[in-house]
Amino acid sequence: MLDYRIDTFLTLCKYMNYRKAAEILHLSQPAVTQQIQSLERTYGRKLFNYKGHKLTKTNAAILLEKYARAAKLHDHALREKLEDKAINILRVGVTKTIGDYFLEDYICRFLSKKENALTVIVDNTEHLLKSLEDNELDFAVIEGLFDKNNFNNILLRREPFVGICKNDHSFAGREISIEELLQETIIHREKGSGTRAILEQELSWYNESLERFQRHICISSFKLILELVKRGFGISFVYNILADSDPELAKFSIQGEKVVREFNIVYLKYADMHEKIHAFFNRETD
Tens of pLDDT, residue by residue over 90-108, are 999 999 889 888 899 999 9
Is residue 135 located within the same domain as residue 99? yes
Q: What's the predicted TM-score (pTM) here? A: 0.71
Within 10 Å of residue 191's Cβ, how many Cβ atoms? 12
**How much is the pLDDT for 84?**
64
- Domain encompassing residue 272: 80-157+262-281
Tens of pLDDT along 248-264? Answer: 999 999 998 788 989 99
Q: Write out the H or E segment, with its range, that includes residue 218.
A: strand 215-218
Please check whether residues 46 and 120 belong to one and the same domain: no
How many folded domains does the chain comprise? 3
Which residues lie below 8 Å from residue 192, measured CB to CB, with a gap of 6+?
Answer: 124, 125, 126, 127
Looking at the structure, tell me whether residues 47 and 165 fall in a common domain.
Answer: no
Contact 267, 275 (CB under 8 A): no
Look at 57-61, 84-88, 132-136, 265-269 and tell me which has the smallest mean pLDDT: 84-88
Task: Single out the residue in 33, 66, 99 at which a domain terminates.
Answer: 66
Bridge partners (DSSP) of residue 66 are none
Q: What is d(CA 274, CA 286) in angstroms, rounded to the nearest whole number? A: 8
| Cα–Cα distance measured from residue 6 to residue 23, given in angstroms and rounded to the nearest whole number | 16
